[in-house]
Amino acid sequence: MTEDRIEEGSEAQVSAQPGTPTPQPDVSPSPKPAKPKHIILNSHQHRAAQVLPIQWGAADPRQRGPVIGSLRSLKHRNVIGTHAGSYGVYRALAVASGVLDPTHKADLTDTSPVVELGPHPSWSDPNKIVSLDPFGATPAAAFGDYDSNEYDILPTIAITKAHINIPELRDEIAQGRLQVDGQILKPDGSLVVTKAAIDPVWHLPGLAKRLKIEEWELRRVLFQQTGNMFPELVTRPDLHVFLPPIGGTTVYIIGDPAAITNPDLPLAVRVHDECNGSDVFGSDICTCRPYLVHGIEVCIQTAQEGGAGIIVYCRKEGRALGEVTKFLVYNARKRQEGGDRADAYFLRTECVAGVQDMRFQELMSDVLHWLGVTRIDRLVSMSNMKYNAITHAGMEVVERIPIPPELVPADAQVEIEAKKAAGYYSEDGVRSEADLGQVKGRDY
Ligand SMILES: [Zn+2]
């Protein structure tokens, strides 16, 4: 690759193969879509380029401006990174292997939200929402008059409806803990929900302010700690919005979404961070799935009272340390002297990861602001970090609902007692350090 053939901010012909400086014309007919034969660097602002500004926090989406992260809209891109979070990397694989035409234009016919959520006053407060695009579900409504061939403006939020079937709910109906109403909870045990998938959209100045650091410091470390993946973080101070390659958030709304913002109606919320081992596979080392199901149960009961329930599901596996770290920690916990003990629960994580937690719950409140939440009557969580994030963000929490003791799996006593000792909400007090050492899990 010869450097003098690359122009920053403009199109430049470079060889696709290192070591062969002269581009070779592709003369063989191929049924696969054509791959791009040149590289366009956007690492510096081109003198002539004028991208549409993003006025974060503006109440009118036209004034706020579109988020243009598509690679089909190169000269109009006004953000760093690209769409679909971590799946953007798979998109690159699909293009590289020739199965996806990089110029493919999404046909968004009939994809608009089936339920209208917002706008809410929080959408126009640049400090309340910094990690998602509040207008991300409806770009077609705001920017439908833009030439879609020129400006590839894609949604970052999708809103649909579903029926979900969870075996535990059928058991609860059989035990009389839940009542079938035919609207929200059907006789066959299926639950009717509205759900929204949200990709992350970070407003870097707002994010830095939330984390109490300088924007430049945030940009520099993001650049370095992603292996220099996004040079624009440090070379394009004119761009303030970043689409990070991370997992997003899914929201499940039970009951009438309009009830969320009605102060006369009750609202239940559980914010749940992904735990694949328990949520999907039923691992008994933690309380995640039983607590999630209990959260859904409380949401159903609240919706049946005329209110609404919200489950926020965040892709932050293993406290955002990832599942590899998590399984390493499981091994370290079970092999340590004295076995898996509540008094060493957090210590083992810190030994492996260097920290106990990287979820940054202070960003979690954004999704609740996006939904227009101002008061939570029943917060189904014992986490002090989540409670603090929600209340610091200005939302009122009326009642905190712990996991019922009978739902805690035997091997998860280590986790729950360690968390209570570390400050999690508890109705029955905290055990002494000596007691904690006696709370033990299985070997394997
Ligand atoms: Zn778990």
Pick the catalytic residue: 273, 340, 343, 357? Answer: 357
Which amino acid is it at 230?
A: F
Pick the catalytic residue: 236, 289, 359, 400? Answer: 359
Alpha carbon separation from 120 to 59, 63, 117, 173, 257 (Å, rounded): 9, 16, 8, 36, 13
Cα 313 to middle of ligand 1, angstroms: 13
Q: What is the pLDDT of residue 33?
A: 56
For 355, the 3-state DSSP assignment is coil
Q: What is the pLDDT of residue 43?
A: 72
Tens of pLDDT, residues 278-302: 999 999 999 999 999 999 999 999 9
Spatial distance between the Cα atoms of 154 and 107, rounded to a whole number of angstroms: 10
**With DSSP H G I counted as helix, E B as strand and the rest as coil, what are the percentages for the chain, rounded to 5?**
35, 15, 50
Cα 384 to middle of ligand 1, angstroms: 17
Q: What is the pLDDT of residue 109?
A: 96
Q: What is the pLDDT of residue 34?
A: 54
Cα 29 to middle of ligand 1, angstroms: 52
Spatial distance between the Cα atoms of 426 and 404, rounded to a whole number of angstroms: 11
Spatial distance between the Cα atoms of 324 and 330, rounded to a whole number of angstroms: 10
Residue 199 annotated in active site? no
Tens of pLDDT, residues 206-240: 999 999 999 999 999 999 999 999 999 999 999 99
Cα 434 to middle of ligand 1, angstroms: 25
Residue 236 annotated in active site? no
Sheet (strand 157-164) strand order: 157-164, 191-198, 249-255, 308-314, 267-273, 375-379, 396-400
Please give the chain's pLDDT, 444 residues, in tens.
Answer: 333 344 444 444 444 444 444 444 444 444 555 555 677 677 777 655 679 999 999 999 999 999 999 999 999 999 999 999 999 999 999 999 999 999 999 999 999 999 999 999 999 999 999 999 999 999 999 999 999 999 999 999 999 999 999 999 999 999 999 999 999 999 999 999 999 999 999 999 999 999 999 999 999 999 999 999 999 999 999 999 999 999 999 999 999 999 999 999 999 999 999 999 999 999 999 999 999 999 999 999 999 999 999 999 999 999 999 999 999 999 999 999 999 999 999 999 999 999 999 999 999 999 999 999 999 999 999 999 999 999 999 999 999 999 999 999 999 999 999 999 989 998 888 888 888 888 888 888
What is the C-alpha radius of gyration for the chain, rounded to an integer number of angstroms? 24
Question: Which parts of 118-203 fold into alpha helices (H)?
Answer: 139-143, 167-174
Q: What is the pLDDT of residue 18?
A: 47
Cα 168 to middle of ligand 1, angstroms: 17
Cα 316 to middle of ligand 1, angstroms: 11
Cα 210 to middle of ligand 1, angstroms: 27
Alpha carbon separation from 192 to 49, 290, 296, 306 (Å, rounded): 48, 20, 12, 15
Spatial distance between the Cα atoms of 70 and 73, rounded to a whole number of angstroms: 6
Cα 141 to middle of ligand 1, angstroms: 40
